[in-house]
Chains A and B, each alone.
Chain A
């Protein structure tokens, strides 16, 4: 149990286009989902915390208008990178915390590799 999927796993797009990444908890409900960005040989950087039915909480330095997050249901959160530029190229990972579970018990998706040309 406790599987989190991400779609797509890999995307290549042209500069200026928008890209949507989906994060789904397949067999549990998650009131809270998290979006991370991982640079090569770097730790995961929390971008935002997504709460079902309310606005996402963004970390300092993360542009909310550029990285749009929607958490419309207990099993789905989406991250849209708007007007993507080459510096947005990265590995984006989501995680989901089952309702009522401890904070560290987040289940991570396999990640989405975004390449902006």
Chain B
């Protein structure tokens, strides 16, 4: 079955880099995603990576994918207080004739001044 795991908490100092890690088990995943959830708000898609890519960079965000180890990471450069939120990784997995998103439990990122 599908299983996506993340550590629950991460604290960093403002200006430092944050690295949020995620492991998944379904080798048939085609896309892997990172979402951000701020308090009282819905999930916001931050970025995604296709399974045949190793790295994707988008401004302050860098996604690294190690398909052999089924390990995904999200690096946020120059972390700001506004980056404090819960970050979910998710994989797109087959569900019958369709696909569904399987989410990790989320990592609470706290940015300290």
Contacts and interface: CB of A to CB of B under 8 A. Distances in A.
Interface of A: 4, 6, 9, 34, 41-44, 46, 49, 57, 59, 93, 95, 102-111
Interface residues of B, number: 26
B21 to A, nearest CB: 15
A93 to B, nearest CB: 6
B45 A103 contact: no
A93 B100 contact: no
Given A106-B45, A107-B42, A46 B105 contact: no
By secondary structure, the B interface counts as: strand
Given A43-B105, A102-B31, A103-B31, A49 B100 contact: yes
Contact of A103 (B92, B96, B105): B92
A74 B14 CA distance: 43
A89 B75 CA distance: 34
Contact of A43 (B4, B31, B44): B4
Interface of B: 4, 8, 31, 33, 35, 40-45, 48, 88, 90, 92, 95-96, 98-106
A46 B104 CA distance: 12
Given A93-B43, A104-B90, A44 B48 contact: no
A66 B90 CA distance: 27
Given A103-B31, A108-B42, A110-B40, A43 B48 contact: no
Given A41-B8, A43-B4, A106-B101, A93 B92 contact: no
B31 A104 contact: yes
Nearest to A93: B42
Nearest to B38: A110
Nearest to A51: B98
Nearest to A94: B42
A106 B48 CA distance: 12
A41 B88 CA distance: 11
B101 A46 contact: yes
Q: Which 8 A/B pairs are nearest by Cβ-Cβ distance? A: A108-B42, A43-B103, A108-B43, A43-B105, A44-B103, A104-B33, A110-B42, A109-B42
